Amino acid sequence: MQEKIKNYILEVEGFIPSTEEHLEEFRLKYLSKKGILSDLFLEMKEASPDQKKDLGKVLNELKTKAEEKYSTFKTSLENNKEEVASDKDLTLPSMRYLGSRHPISIVRSEIVDIFSRIGFTVSEGPEIEDDWHNFSALNFPEEHPARDMQDTFFIQKNPDIALRTHTSSVQVRVMETTPPPIRTISPGRVFRNEAISARAHCIFHQVEGLCIDEDISFADLKQTLLYFAREMFGKDTKIRLRPSYFPFTEPSAEMDISCTLCDGKGCNICKHTGWTEIMGCGMVDPNVLTNCGIDAVKYTGFAFGMGIERITMLKYQINDLRIYFENDVRFLRQFSGIV
């Protein structure tokens, strides 16, 4: 009998069920009331007390092994069934979502590209600025109301340090370190303490432009900006310069382009005027040149500054600034393939 039980043990050890039905056959054969184990326990009762001891040992081993085998395969076969039921096809190729560039990055590169074709380099400056570079050197006297044009985020306890409110601060850094001729643009992030709405945000992007040389005139400024507007918005785009005020330019102007949406006929976007404003500009104030160590008798120059969000809105007809920051892939995917 002992020999028989040992053979059963070997059989149980080697048993691997392929289906649940197969496993059920195993249970019936060994573990059911009419199964092998019940029979063997009955048979054991007939044995002599000496034999019983040894038989009991091997018989218990067979029982444990059969039970373990059954419970292990029961759970693994059930788990397999769940995977099939969940309809997952592991052989399918993975979904391919190629990322896209953010529209602000696309337009920034395009602006850089347009100006680099006429000899402008790219320069950068820090986002955390001191008062000198953001205001004083740019001819904003202390306590001057012009500082209120730009609601500033100051660093706590230090009124000298702030998040830059415009990229005009980079003009100052370039002029302080580079002798003319200078022809540079400075794209970057700027910060203003403004309530967030469809038309305003506390973080946005600007591109500053600066050109300093002997005999630079307002005509150079105008021609440069006309070239930019036509490259960016199409060859039929018209520009218009309106007198304005900035502390760092004299004279100053604001530039409008003919509305890209209605071709100047008048629509909601241009408030029925046919024109939309895209940037501020002017001739660099001689005070600014002097502040930055440039000979204001020998040199003149022009500067301009535009918001990248605004240019992007006009180019792609986006009507809410907040969408740029929301990371909604349905918005971003529309720009895939544009570099």
Which residue ranges make up the site for ligand DAH (CB under 6 A)? 166, 168, 208, 246, 249, 280-282, 303-305
Position of minimal CB gap to ligand DAH: 305
**What single letter denotes the amino acid at residue 79?**
N
For residue 281, the minimal CB distance to ligand DAH (Å) is: 5
Structure tokens at 199: 């038309």
Nearer to ligand DAH, 100 or 291 (CB): 291
Nearer to ligand DAH, 43 or 250 (CB): 250
Q: Rg of the Cα trace of the chain?
A: 40
> Least separation, in Å, of the C-beta of 206 and ligand DAH?
6
Residue closer to ligand DAH by CB (options 31, 149) is 149
Neighbouring CB atoms inside 10 A of 177's CB total 10
**Closer to ligand DAH at the Cβ: 23 or 207?**
207
**Buried-state track 97-112, b at ≥16 Cβ within 10 A, e below 16:** eeebbbbbbbbbebbb
- Is residue 300 within 8 A of residue 249, CB to CB? The reply is no
Taking the complex as a whole, the smallest distance from the CB of residue 168 to ligand DAH amounts, in Å, to: 4
Residue indicated by tokens 């992030």: 189
Residue 46: count of CB within 10 angstroms of its CB: 9
In the complex, least distance from residue 248 CB atom to ligand DAH, rounded to whole angstroms: 6
CA distance linking residue 188 with residue 170, whole number of Å: 9
> In the complex, what is the shortest distance from the CB of residue 304 to ligand DAH, in angstroms, rounded to a whole number?
5
Measured CA to CA, the distance from residue 114 to residue 232 in angstroms comes to 8
Our CB check for ligand DAH shows the closer of 188 and 305 to be: 305
